[in-house]
Structure 1
Amino acid sequence: MNRKQIVLLILAVVVGVQIVYFWLEGKPEAADAGKKELLTADVIAASYIGSESCRSCHEQEFSDWNKSDHDLAMQEATSEFVLGDFEDQVFESQGVTNKFFRKDDKYWVNTEGPDGKYADYEIKYTYGVKPLQQYIVEFPGGKLQCLRTAWDSKKNKWFDLYPDLEVHPKEWLHWTKGGLNWNTMCSDCHSTNVHKNYIPEADSFATSFSIINVSCESCHGPGKAHVDFIKSNNIKKGDPYQAEQHLHQTSNLTSVEQVDQCARCHARREQITEAFDHQGSFMDHYVPAVLRDDLYHPDGQIKEEDYEYASFTQSKMYMNGVKCANCHNPHSLELKAIGNALCGQCHDQKKFDVPAHTFHAVNTEGAKCVNCHMPGTTYMGNDFRRDHSLRVPRPDQSVVYGTPNACNKCHTDQTAQWAANAIEKWFGKERKPHFSDALTFASTRNPAAAAGLVTLLNDKKQPPIVKATALWYLGQLKNDPGTLAVFVNALSDAEPIIRYTALKELNAYPLEQTQNHVLPMLKDPVRSVRIAAADALATLPASSVPASFAAPYKKATKELEINLKERADFPGGQMEAGQYYERKGDVRKAEVAYKRSLSIDSFFNPARLNLAYLQNRQGNTKEAIALFNVVLQQEPGYAEGYYSLGLLYAETNEMELAIENLKKASQLDKANTRALYNLGLAYQRANQAEAAEAVYLKGLQRFPDSYDFGNALVILYLQNNSFEKAEQHLARLLGHYPNNPQLLQMKEYIRTNR
């Protein structure tokens, strides 16, 4: 498992309540009323009254929730909650020794610190309960860090979350760094009413929350108004929902509404607001990831730690009104029925829970609905989670695209072709049409896949998350001028995830082609869509914005900058800020953001590359070269890095180094024609005509119709007075480009100078 595959669902902890100010400007309720109210964290917290306040009226719900995974999401490290063995236990992994012990009725660990030296650290909090429990240490600057060594609460033993990975103390994945930082990675979902409050200038946090765990109010919202209303005895007969008017996660929600409520913590997403306040929709606070093939398998099955939202929302169940609470008790989180009886709530067991359908004997593993339709993946070492896309197994796709299938999850000694043959024998040759047919093909980046993606987009029955993914893949293909019209058309879709994705893809087009389509999106009712519109218009000066859009542009830009601020503790967030400021023309802020990204994670080379390009554009070529050399020290197989470095050395006329790096780039990435072409130019500038000739001929062998290689070769021959060779290759070029003025000029030059 490599670093990009490591998934870090980590921690939860508290720093004492801080005074934090929040302007409510821009929130729907404040904007509509024309108000501008200033609240402190103390005032906000006063609306949260604790789960015990719910108990007297909701005894059963409280009992279900008590000691659940939500209740135990985070607790103080006391004997009541600590599960791990701290009786002088030693656990070693990847050369790091961890000693767990107790001292003064507290729990401690001796382990490798941020400087690579061993030290004693007090365990302040427990994080989670089953199938594993993690432990949190308090660091300076309000940072709360989770150990990479966790307690397996099923097998009762210590284990390493990623035992095959050696991590340097300076890396993002080290337990003392950002990848295992509670404030950044976990706080929003594992405690109630969290305000992260990252301070970029000091690289510190003033994080606060109202309740340590996932309490009743984490889902239902602050309870004071509800309790006050009940105590007022103003309830009228005949209105079953009036008591719920002050709550947010209630029993009368539709599937879409309930799933969106759960999605804020059960989705692979990024947060775009300073804190979740239960106002607006899911995408007013978060942006979910689409079914990208770096996160999901090409057919949409879970791959990285993707959680449930994008899986479930691609399912037929979701599209037919099924919601989380149909299968799960929302308070205990347990399933509502055992085994196939759970599916039997809706599906006829006499039809489906029989060997004629399952092709397995009753009461065997192969006869369980979930093993065929919800195969799972183990994350964090021992946490087995099931795919919620509830799909039909497609081993035929496994044969072609290498996607996993439920059959081979059990029959590991058989091939995908064996499984595909069995399905064909049982159900015939034809499979029912499914969006995965188009997505798997698109994952090959074959331009011919565009037609299938457009068909998905025109199908009203397809899940919104699937259509958004189709737009993302179309952006990857970029093969057809007509694609622009597809993105523009998607801006009028009813689903915010589709409008958002379309706007992100429009960033690849010149602003003059998109401006008139994007400007109206500044007035979109959903915050994330407005932010995407502001980002797409970043290069447009405020003075050039039409008067009718001036106010929405200002508001959306402010929302965008809040979004960037919220992600400022991520190396990727700082890089995004740098890219934004570059587009705005603010070089100083861009440089600061890129450097902050690298201070958070010195191995985050995407930011280093952006900084190198920025330095080069500013004429600081030596600084750019130094940055590229660091990239290549850390990633010696990175072809694009050698290519860019070769070009920089060519700029400084260091031709031997230019040749060395361009040659390496062309060897590592044979599809990079520009690297090979520029290698020929470098040889030519270094007066190594024979080497340049060999490179150009190799280029023409791979790409016979190439103008660049042919033109460079003709010029090389002319420079060396090899008129016969020049004339031969020029004739071939003119066969492809008969009216090219430069080629015609060279033809005349040969005629008059031979």
Structure 2
Amino acid sequence: MSKISSFYKINSFVFLFLLGIISVVSCIEKKQNYVEVNHENIFVATEKIPDSLFLGDKVCAKCHQEEVEEWSGSHHDKAMQIATKETVLGDFSDASFSSQGVYSKFFKKEGEFYVNTEGPDGKNNDYKIEYTFGITPLQQYIVKFPNGHYQCLRTAWDTEEKKWFDLYPDFKVVHSEWLHWSRGGLNWNNMCADCHSTNVRKNYNQNNHSYNTKYAIINVNCEACHGPGNNHVNLVNKLGDKYASTQGMQMTSDTNPKELVDQCARCHMRREQYSSHFNFEGTMMDHYFPQVLTNGLYYPDGQILDEVYVYGSFVQSKMYKNNVTCTNCHNPHTLKLKFEGNALCLQCHESPKYDVTSHHFHESGSDGAQCINCHMDGKIYMGNDYRRDHSFRIPRPDQSIKYGTPNACVRCHTDKSNEWAWEHFKKNYGEPDYTHFSDLLAPGFTGEEDGYHNLLTLAKDTIHPEIARASAVNSIANYYNTEVIDNMLQFLNDESPIVRGATIDALGEIINTDYVNYFLPLLKDRKRTVRVKAFFVISSLDELQIPEEYKEVYKKVKKEFETHLSVTSDFAGGRAKRGMYYLKKGDLLNAIKSFESALEIESLNNIIRSNLANLYYRNGQFKEAEEAFRTIISQEPEYGQTYYSFALLLGELNRTDEAITQMELAVKYMPENIRFYYNLSLLYDKVNNFKKAEGVAVKGLKIAPQNGDLLYVLTYIYQKNGQIGKALNIARQLVQLYPSNQQYLSIYNQLRQVQ
């Protein structure tokens, strides 16, 4: 079997989260201060907007001809089109292309456009091109599949170099993977439609895994941003000169800067959906929750890493803080930059201070003298699409040396090192005399010794960007203990909804019954996303246990939560979340069914399969659990965590010799995980192999000499085998290292008495 992509690598703590959820059903005792709101005013309308209320750009052009002319031909205009000889830019004259062992041929038949390429069955088939997607620097093509599914080809057309290319040339994808073009990863209905057309309703049916996706207008037209035109036209006709643009219109010149960013953000950010459709009611966070800065998506300093689009970086910037908005740089209709070169930045930044050699230390007019090349470094996504980081940061080669983060200096001077860049930086500018949020985020992101306190400082200080503070709270959870929880609780009351939401997510994985009362007031939060997150945390409460003052709002938020589960049910993660909801309710059978359902649409997702294997074990379905673990091992044979979980299962079934074999493999592939040595030592002890049990514990202690578990198991082994002197010596170390541990003190006193 081909090794599957690293996308599915199992996260070792996922099972701890899943099965470590403590049923939140006890009496509610703790109190907290929380600003109450009138919950009658927090539930925004959820009605769908009839397509008939969207009039189209031809109607808009009657009064706004200049704006429509600017929009025509833009990325928004060409976001999606029916495939015709006018719209298709790629070479379909029997052109061929091969990548990662997949051969594709592009041709025409009876005036229609076709591709012959690998399908979901692993065999080549002919597929008709129904739609085009985008214009530059690439154009993608969409194929119709059964049950209303539309799929985007992985092979795209480079509109600048006039050639076919692979969107992911270095990434082998098996036809059965979710990331294959014929499956969920490149599905138009759930991955693309919401932002490439106007008034989209996904209309997914989980019962038969089908879509009936609808839109009012195929592309991103005027009304996608400004709202349906019918009401606007009626008001203009009725009010005449008394009409104001703020009446019934979105994204006008009167929209305040941060609100405008939020309105653009719904299509220019990585996010999770909470409403069934977007209808211009409420705010962005009534419909979507933004992705915070996390490992794998952002670098430790907050720079873009994975495909996260623009919002997450821009709201980190001082530009955003100082009310610079999208349209200060981009023409809202052509989407092009308003000025060329440094003139764009010099709208606000004084030329004598910044556009001079003494500032940028490069020859005037050169690439190095361009503001954006130093302050907006970027990455190539989708094979050829270079996108700039919108956090507008000063390069920090010192952080690159310490954390492996990128910096613009060596991205340009490719023959130089970060150390070279840092020396020149200090020579030209001196060492930084300010604290950027990344100075606090990166240590916590990377698990430095004092990372927790840096993160807490960042989260508390409202001078820093909200998304950075939310990300700090998210990372604080990795330092879990009682003190950490108590410090995190304060952020449930934060003024920023993204901070509140991130706090709920982080605490939701580690809280117990003592903390329920901290979450109940958030059912009345003004943002739907925050309310729904809070509901999920306390969803193990039965409705009868909800205090009277929250009963009505609880029922309303429950409906919002059910909508969230429904709208994300075409993702494996959405179905798994439903499984976790059932698990919190104590419904193990439906939890298992939900996880099985998740694997039906993403069969190689071993995070989900690992959780399911443990649920099988918990339900006494030992055969199914073993099959699941063996499947994971066959697909990811070098991932130690799976061997560990499988070994625990075998050990519980008293198949000790097999358990030892699996635990040895866990140690082999993850030799840094001290817990594996502890369990392997106990397994050897169980079969009375004293030398092996001792040897494994000693080997682990060479990696972590002060590990309490390993010292304790070694004490136990020596005591069991009559080596009281050795046992006492190690027990003495335990008491010295952990003087407050009563278990260690007890065994030490026992050994002293025996001796």
Q: Same fold (TM over 0.5)?
A: yes
Shift of 1:660: 1.0
Letter in 2 for 1:523: K
1:264 is matched with which residue?
266
CA contact (8 A) 1:487 1:503 kept: no
Worse-matched range after superposition: 314-323 or 112-121: 112-121
1:118 is matched with which residue?
124
Letter in 1 for 2:240: I
Worse-matched range after superposition: 120-129 or 243-252: 243-252
Mapped pair 1:357 → 2:359: yes
Worse-matched range after superposition: 164-173 or 70-79: 164-173
Q: What whole-Å deviation, never above 9, does each CA across 1:590-623 have from its counterpart, x for those lacking one?
A: 1122112111111101111111111111122222
1:235 is matched with which residue?
240
Map 1:169-208 onto structure 2 (within 5 A).
169-208=175-214
Cα distance in 1 between the residues matched to 2:693 and 2:260? 65
Q: What whole-Å deviation, never above 9, does each CA across 1:120-166 have from its counterpart, x for those lacking one?
A: 11100001110000011000010001111100000011111111222
SS at match of 1:482: helix
Q: What whole-Å deviation, never above 9, does each CA across 1:471-496 have from its counterpart, x for those lacking one?
A: 112112225x3332332221222211
2:565 is matched with which residue?
564
CA contact (8 A) 2:115 2:126 kept: yes
Structure 1 pair 351/731, CA: closer, same or farther in 2 (3 Å)? closer
Mapped pair 1:488 → 2:489: yes
Structure 1 pair 432/721, CA: closer, same or farther in 2 (3 Å)? closer
Structure 1 pair 75/567, CA: closer, same or farther in 2 (3 Å)? same
Letter in 1 for 2:256: T
Structure 1 pair 211/511, CA: closer, same or farther in 2 (3 Å)? same
Q: Which runs of 5+ in 2 are unaligned?
A: 9-36
Shift of 1:583: 1.1
Structure 1 pair 666/231, CA: closer, same or farther in 2 (3 Å)? same
Letter in 1 for 2:227: G
Cα distance in 2 between the residues matched to 1:47 and 1:230? 15
Identify the match of residue 403 of structure 2 among 385, 401, 404.
401
Structure 1 pair 231/612, CA: closer, same or farther in 2 (3 Å)? same
2:629 is matched with which residue?
628
Structure 1 pair 450/722, CA: closer, same or farther in 2 (3 Å)? closer
Letter in 2 for 1:420: W
Letter in 2 for 1:657: E
Identify the match of residue 67 of structure 1 among 73, 81, 100.
73
Cα distance in 1 between the residues matched to 2:624 and 2:428? 64
Letter in 2 for 1:600: I
SS at match of 1:253: coil
Shift of 1:399: 1.2
SS at match of 1:235: helix
SS at match of 2:50: helix
SS at match of 2:103: strand
SS at match of 1:624: helix
Structure 1 pair 427/627, CA: closer, same or farther in 2 (3 Å)? same
CA contact (8 A) 2:5 2:172 kept: no
Cα distance in 2 between the residues matched to 1:638 and 1:741? 33
Mapped pair 1:522 → 2:528: no
SS at match of 1:151: strand
Cα distance in 1 between the residues matched to 2:160 and 2:135? 10
Structure 1 pair 268/3, CA: closer, same or farther in 2 (3 Å)? farther
Q: What whole-Å deviation, never above 9, does each CA across 1:217-270 have from its counterpart, x for those lacking one?
A: 1111111010112222x2354x6xx24411112111111100000000000111
Cα distance in 1 between the residues matched to 2:750 and 2:62? 97
Q: What whole-Å deviation, never above 9, does each CA across 1:692-735 have from its counterpart, x for those lacking one?
A: 12122333444444443344334434444445544554555565
Cα distance in 1 between the residues matched to 2:684 and 2:332? 68
Shift of 1:203: 1.2
1:370 is matched with which residue?
372
Structure 1 pair 190/424, CA: closer, same or farther in 2 (3 Å)? same
Structure 1 pair 734/464, CA: closer, same or farther in 2 (3 Å)? closer
Cα distance in 2 between the residues matched to 1:526 and 1:553? 14
Map 1:447-596 onto structure 2 (within 5 A).
447-478=449-480, 481-596=482-597
Cα distance in 2 between the residues matched to 1:251 and 1:527? 27
1:281 is matched with which residue?
283
Mapped pair 1:146 → 2:143: no
CA contact (8 A) 2:298 2:306 kept: yes
Aligned residues: 724
Letter in 2 for 1:235: G
Mapped pair 1:218 → 2:224: yes
1:306 is matched with which residue?
308
2:419 is matched with which residue?
417
Shift of 1:357: 1.0
CA RMSD of aligned residues (A): 2.5
Mapped pair 1:137 → 2:143: yes
Q: What whole-Å deviation, never above 9, does each CA across 1:386-428 have from its counterpart, x for those lacking one?
A: 1111111111111111110011111000001111111100111
Identify the match of residue 108 of structure 1 among 110, 114, 118.
114
- The answer to which structure, 1 or 2, has the higher relative contact order (CA under 8 A, 6+ apart) is 2
1:20 is matched with which residue?
none
Cα distance in 2 between the residues matched to 1:751 and 1:463? 60
SS at match of 2:93: coil
Q: What whole-Å deviation, never above 9, does each CA across 1:327-371 have from its counterpart, x for those lacking one?
A: 001111011111111111111112211111111111100000110
Structure 1 pair 310/723, CA: closer, same or farther in 2 (3 Å)? closer
Q: Which runs of 5+ in 1 are unaligned?
A: 7-27
TM-score by length of 1: 0.92
1:699 is matched with which residue?
700
